[in-house]
Structure 1
Amino acid sequence: MPAVHLRPPRNWINDPNGLVFHDGHYHVFFQYNPYGPQHANMHWGHFRSPDLITWEELPVALTPTPGGDDADGCYSGNAVSVEGRMVAFYSANRTGRWWQPVTTAESPDDGHTWAKRPQLLIAQPPSGTTMYRDPYVWQQDGRWRMLVGSALADGRGAALLYESGDLEHWTYRGPFHTSGAAATADPVGWECPQYATFGDRAVLIVSDWTPQGGPSHVTVHTGREEQGRFAAAAPPVRLDHGPDFYAPALLKAPEEDRWLLWGWAWEARDDAWAHEAGWAGVLTLPREVTLADDGTVGQRPARELLALRGERVLHSTGRVTESGPVELGQVSRAVDVTAVLTPDPTGTTGLRLVTSADGTEHLDISLDPTAGQLTVDRSHASLDPRVRTGTYTMPCPDAQFPGTPVELRVIVDGSIAEIYLATGQVLTIRFYPLGDAPWRLQARVTGRRGSDFAVEAWDLSPRPTDRQPLVASHLRDA
């Protein structure tokens, strides 16, 4: 069970929502079913923190109103801080309506109570759309702007742009950006659009949703805005290379030059196991998002997370050869690992997290110099047959250059691993070891020349707030 990743003690969560810095606190809302570990009864759960380390659970923020426009769920959106209050923009879900209108709720008391607006903010989608949901609102050049995720009638995904001078009256400006070509066999809609500016350049993040059930994933587009439209400078790429990452959301940190991001890591085990456990879903750790001069979008764990490190439990340097793995030492089930590996050009080089006494359960992370990529293999990560298995990759061009060290950071927390390269690429994966033996790390190679390594690891522990979680309150309607 994850210890340092955000999640309520029980039940279902999915998309992070309403990320906002308000009155000295980071606020993280999320899709939440308070009644069970399945996707239903969507509310907005709520955490806040002064430092990204100590988190306080606040009352449920948004609750569906029986008979109302959101009777079947308060779905995804975001929030802004303005004139001492928080305003949440969200998708109002009601069975039988293919679109989810945009509406709002306000909190005057730092998120403890919320009042919904009496009428929908944007009741009808523009003509020519076949999907409509997930508002994202931000302020730019003195005006408020909103993107709404959509699909067009020709099968393209789209982020639709609105503008306002007062957060109340919104004018539709048209598609801000669309996918490049009309879909045919697998139509795609864009969910959860997110937008971040870096000077005169910008990043648009969209969650590509396929109504047939997948494979949904997240893409990032880089470019500039030109006359109210986003002009991409390069083809879109995957934001996260893992199989268990979706619907990320952005937050502009108080520092002007820093963007933070959380994503949803869904379950990779079957529903029956999640019901037995009583919970499903977890948010990733907060990440800092960067945009390099060459247009590459990078991610790294938020700098504050170093404060979660406790005792350094492992410090090992040496050389590993094909004669056998090197035992590096024991680590906890919540651990922060940094490694510098010099790839063997004749084979793979990597780390193995062994989670059973006999070694049959293990998660493999390896560098492939031939393909120029990092590979994560969870095929043997659990002895339980009710989990998804597979091998996943992300680009690592440095692995192709003999003698070039590759730096990586691996944060493992119970059933989730986030693997970062120093280049800013990241891969998120869920795995479910059953072994109760102490976990341990190994260095391994398959090539003839061997590899030099330097590995350090720190136990991670949550920093609990000195305040107890508050009891969920009912939302009052305006």
Structure 2
Amino acid sequence: MSVLPADPHRPVAHLRPPRNWINDPNGLAFHDGHYHVCFQYNPYGPEHAHMHWGHFRSPDLLAWEELPVALTPTPGGEDADGCFSGNAVSDGDRLVAFYSAFRTDRWAQPVTTAESRDNGVTWTPRGSLLIPDPPEGTTMYRDPYVWREAGRWRMLVGSALADGRAAALLYESADLERWEYRGPFLDRAPQPVAPGADTGLGWECPQYLHTDGRGALILSAWDPELGPRRTVVHSGREENGRFRAGAPALLDHGPDFYAPALLHAPDGRWLLWGWSWEARDPEWVREAGWAGLLTLPREVTLADDGSVRQRPAAELLALRGGRAVTAAGVTDGTAVLGTVSGSFDLTARLEPRAPGAAGGLRLVTSADGGEYLDLRLDPAAGELVVDRDHASLDAGAHGGSYRVPCPGASVELRLVVDRSVAEVYLPSGRTLTLRFYPTGGAPWRIEARGGGEGGLGYAVSAWDLRPYTVRSLAGAAPDLTDTGLVRP
């Protein structure tokens, strides 16, 4: 394999292959002692085209194997123009993948399957459609999600309806082969969910978290003109095949998060991966030769108040290396706390010492201080603001500031930065994911910045991140040059 040039923006602790395009996580399952994580993958370039399923598996969420491509379009077949999104289930000695069969000569993406009987190394496509005809009145149809509940198999398919409602359509089966259509599980006209964002005219990648009679339906909002928008969640209860949902909420408050997928782990946890797309101009993406990454695996829980809460999977604590920063104090100006590498895991408590006072953290990524990512409190709005307007000196990087609700006089947070991706986690379970592209070389400097009378109290700890370990079963070792990923 050719050697890739050095790229300071490829992550070390977020799953993606060394090159080319990826998007939606697919095929999440636990089978034969392994977590399986597939994803939309173009093996030929960094553009959304030629959709295959790439595939990683791991026994522990830390050491990963890159398997051969799981799903490949069949020339002349039902999926001739792409194996689009879906999920997978463990059924006895086999893994069964359910996915959207894409052909450019039809509007719908009907459901088909493939199966593996060797723990995901090889897959046999069905060769025909499982559900050939979408229900009457649908104008979009894609992305099956299958799970087992109360002795039966159930499936949701994302759709849009001719009357302007988005819908998640419900099917049921006793054997994974014969499926009965039960009607819309949830259907709604677009509803506002945040300034400038609504729940969409169609829903992609439906996912259903359920426990103790309660549930949360995760839906990725889609618009026929604008394409993918934001990911929303409805909490509620199922009654007779219909989901009785409350008001929608954003699942993630950042601009670069979409199409998350769930995995129900054998220990009872619900794990979630999302797709974080690029926030830089297409010319830069083509030059880099890769696009997209999967978020950290997140533990997802349903709180008593119905809110969905997320935090990094507990296993990821093992990726913390030596502690790079330990600092506490009060500042009414700027306090330099220490330096970190381009990939680190940070925890902080920030406490303005006077009512209404602001303050926050700054990650400075250039020697002259002109390039930085800001996290600052807005006490009047009760929000944490993450501002990337100055996060890259390259004009091809996108800017903008984004807000996550953070009521109270102080804030605790966890920030995981991995070269070009930042994930913010709050104790409320709210998250914010964004991409940024520093041009200055590591190490980066962490500063506490006080504002207002009394200053800012802070307590910060940061650890440099160890990279994932990845080995290949794909026939040749992947080119991991400067990805930070480590072969055993």
TM-score range, shorter chain: over 0.9
* Alpha-carbon distance in 1 for matches of 2:146, 2:239: 19
246, 254, 278: which one aligns with 2:258: 246
* Matched residue, 1:280: 291
State the secondary structure of the residue aligned to 2:63.
coil
* Matched residue, 1:196: 209
The answer to whether structure 1 residue 111 and structure 2 residue 120 are counterparts is yes
* Alpha-carbon distance in 2 for matches of 1:175, 1:262: 25
Shift of 1:180: 4.2
1:75-90 to 2 correspondences below 5 Å: 75-90=84-99
* Matched residue, 1:476: none
Q: Rate the CA distance shift 1:313–1:187 in 2: closer, same or farther, 3 A.
A: closer
Q: Rate the CA distance shift 1:90–1:451 in 2: closer, same or farther, 3 A.
A: same
Shift of 1:98: 1.0
State the secondary structure of the residue aligned to 1:342.
strand
* Matched residue, 2:67: 58
State the secondary structure of the residue aligned to 2:469.
coil
Q: Rate the CA distance shift 1:245–1:160 in 2: closer, same or farther, 3 A.
A: same
Aligned length: 461
- What amino acid is aligned across from residue 247 of structure 1 in structure 2? A
* Matched residue, 1:205: 218
235, 246, 256: which one aligns with 2:247: 235
- What amino acid is aligned across from residue 232 of structure 2 in structure 1? T
Q: Is the 8 A contact 1:357 1:435 kept in 2?
A: yes
Shift of 1:454: 0.4
453, 459, 464: which one aligns with 2:469: 464
1:425-444 to 2 correspondences below 5 Å: 425-444=430-449
State the secondary structure of the residue aligned to 1:397.
coil
TM-score of the superposition, structure 1-length normalised? 0.94
Q: Is the 8 A contact 1:409 1:420 kept in 2?
A: yes
- Structure 2 residues without counterparts, runs of 5 or longer: 1-9, 193-197, 477-488
Shift of 1:135: 0.1
Q: Is the 8 A contact 1:156 1:182 kept in 2?
A: no
* Alpha-carbon distance in 2 for matches of 1:154, 1:182: 15
* Alpha-carbon distance in 1 for matches of 2:75, 2:330: 64
Q: Is the 8 A contact 1:155 1:187 kept in 2?
A: no
Q: Is the 8 A contact 2:164 2:189 kept in 1?
A: no
The answer to whether structure 1 residue 416 and structure 2 residue 421 are counterparts is yes
Q: Is the 8 A contact 2:12 2:468 kept in 1?
A: no
- What amino acid is aligned across from residue 425 of structure 1 in structure 2? R
Q: Rate the CA distance shift 1:429–1:449 in 2: closer, same or farther, 3 A.
A: same
The answer to whether structure 1 residue 289 and structure 2 residue 300 are counterparts is yes
- What amino acid is aligned across from residue 220 of structure 1 in structure 2? V
RMSD value, Cα: 1.5
160, 166, 181: which one aligns with 2:175: 166
Sequence identity of aligned pairs in percent? 67
Shift of 1:446: 2.2
The answer to whether structure 1 residue 29 and structure 2 residue 34 are counterparts is no
The answer to whether structure 1 residue 266 and structure 2 residue 277 are counterparts is yes
The answer to whether structure 1 residue 224 and structure 2 residue 233 are counterparts is no
- Deviates most, 456-465 or 67-76: 456-465
* Deviations 1:326-361, CA, capped at 9 Å, x for gaps: 000000100000001113533322100000000100
* Matched residue, 2:19: 10
* Matched residue, 1:94: 103
- What amino acid is aligned across from residue 231 of structure 1 in structure 2? R
The answer to whether structure 1 residue 392 and structure 2 residue 402 are counterparts is yes
TM-score of the superposition, structure 2-length normalised? 0.92
Q: Is the 8 A contact 2:77 2:127 kept in 1?
A: no
* Matched residue, 2:481: none
- Deviates most, 431-440 or 373-382: 431-440
* Matched residue, 1:148: 157
